[in-house]
Amino acid sequence: MRILVQAIVLIVAGFLLLAVSILADAIGIGADAGVIGWKQYSGAVVGLVLMFFGAHLALHHSGGRG
């Protein structure tokens, strides 16, 4: 069960990082309005990696070992 909880936390954290990175200009924390910069791309990529790693943990490592 513990691995499943960690996986869910990773998925949620990744989604939040992805959303904040992509919507940074819309919520007023982006450097240039309307331009997605390298920091936003980096945040989005890290968010996706966290989400995929969390999904991998949830699907392949939660089978009764948590």
How far apart CA 7 and CA 20 sit, in angstroms, is 20
Helices 2-22 and 38-60 pack at an angle, to 10 degrees, of: 160
Q: pTM value?
A: 0.83
pLDDT tens per residue across span 30-60: 777 778 889 999 999 999 999 999 999 999 8
Determine the pLDDT at residue 36.
84
Alpha-helical (H) ranges within 1-66 are 2-22, 38-60
